[in-house]
Structure 1
């Protein structure tokens, strides 16, 4: 297997409560309800391209209202949305729990045009560390023989980690801590057994778990470490897993459903789960 360059540069952009409105605003179709950009014109240079991941392992399912209209219902842990074109400007968002309609956020949110983002709800409700984190999806498309992949660390009971390829000396991710994302790195397409280790200076820490991941050529991915390494000791029985979200692929197209039912074609993403 060809050696891959080491990842050491981590990027974190945190926008707290106001960003949560944007985060859940653009989550789409997990409960059979689609939502498109509110007032969007589907022009990528005039809209923000935004997707959302619900990665808080003890957070309940939520419903979302946008500008007073019901948009989403029952959005649960592990959901990663398609990218949506969200019109620049201000929108009123209400977020409430699905079970008893307790409002957890209400306010106006603004979005900017021309960039791609993943907005992830991370942390724990019981520990009062729940927050949205915004990651800029700044990747270059790889060749047909290679994939480009980054790691997002969203497992609240996992230490800072190094990730190595089993049976090789290759280090893919170096010292990625909770809430952070590595840079993208280009790797040969294929199947990988990855060793997740506690971070050390020599990248030789104890292997805490291994995961099997398959990546295709000409595709950009985010590998998202989520859930609990030790769920028996935590407030929710949400075991550790790696969600492999497709950031961009030359062959992949999705649909976005307007609130009036109109469908428009757009670039989308697929999400697969690679478990322990």
Structure 2
């Protein structure tokens, strides 16, 4: 693993996401909201049933964490809900009816180039992240496959922050994630597509990503400054390539932090 250390400041304000809404955005540092929502997908609108009541709904967001994939469009039940999504972005939550939905992910602007087309089932009163993970290149070590996660959007107490880390770096081995120079172990032995959650005091942290060792003191391959607000839940996606020069795309390892709740 490379010994070069990268540092990225992630500042999370209360009520804002570290990664922006996907459609029409150029990167993960600006502001934006998804556009082009399909019927039943408008986060501002509740869906009425034929009987005049409100139908049961779930919340779904999409995160593009496939390092060799181009910008993508996302279709739900045949209608475009997110467009031109770049690597590293996570959408706002979209409201969908509970039940089965066909989800298709294609190259941006080219629906004939589909990298995923399958049905997913979502339950009422539940939040999900659909993570575009793996690689689309032929002969990839980790073939492209969406990772569907159930999200805990409940807020911790006002002096605590909840942090979930998801390992979606296809060329990275299992990792330990520490803070305070290794004195605090946040996550131990997280492998590809695995995740872990913890609660910490709301504060500013430098988190270190290390190769997995029994004593959690492996080489630091990257570190990131993260500011965690109290009463807030976050998900951090560890994505990109540790050694991009040996991989299909020059997409370096990074940590993309999204706010789940506040």
How far apart are the structure 2 equivalents of 1:190 and 1:51? 26
In the alignment of these two chains, the number of paired residues is: 222
2:23 is aligned, of 25, 30, 33, to 30
1:154 aligns with 168
How far apart are the structure 2 equivalents of 1:162 and 1:67? 39
1:239 aligns to 2:249 (yes or no): no
1:116 aligns to 2:127 (yes or no): yes
Asked if the contact 2:63–2:130 (Cα under 8 Å) also holds between the matched residues in 1, the reply is yes
Asked if the contact 2:178–2:208 (Cα under 8 Å) also holds between the matched residues in 1, the reply is yes
- Give the 3-state SS of the residue equivalent to 1:102 in structure 2: strand
1:48 is aligned, of 53, 58, 62, to 58
Q: 4+ residue runs of structure 1 moved beyond 3 angstroms?
A: 42-45, 64-72, 89-96, 105-111
Asked if the contact 2:40–2:47 (Cα under 8 Å) also holds between the matched residues in 1, the reply is no
1:83 is aligned, of 80, 93, 109, to 93
Asked if the contact 2:83–2:108 (Cα under 8 Å) also holds between the matched residues in 1, the reply is yes
Unaligned runs of 5+ in 2: 1-19, 25-33, 49-53
Unaligned runs of 5+ in 1: 1-26, 250-276
How far apart are the structure 1 equivalents of 2:61 and 2:86? 15
Instruction: State the Cα RMSD in Å.
Output: 2.7
**Alpha carbons of structure 1 residues 37 and 82: separation in structure 2 relative to 1, 3 Å:** farther
Asked if the contact 1:28–1:35 (Cα under 8 Å) also holds between the matched residues in 2, the reply is no
Could you state the TM-score of these two structures normalised by the residue count of structure 2? 0.75
1:143 aligns with 157
Q: Displacement of 1:239 after TM fit?
A: 1.2
**Alpha carbons of structure 1 residues 248 and 37: separation in structure 2 relative to 1, 3 Å:** farther
Larger CA deviation: 90-99 vs 134-143: 90-99
**Alpha carbons of structure 1 residues 178 and 108: separation in structure 2 relative to 1, 3 Å:** closer
1:191 aligns to 2:193 (yes or no): no
How far apart are the structure 2 equivalents of 1:167 and 1:66? 44
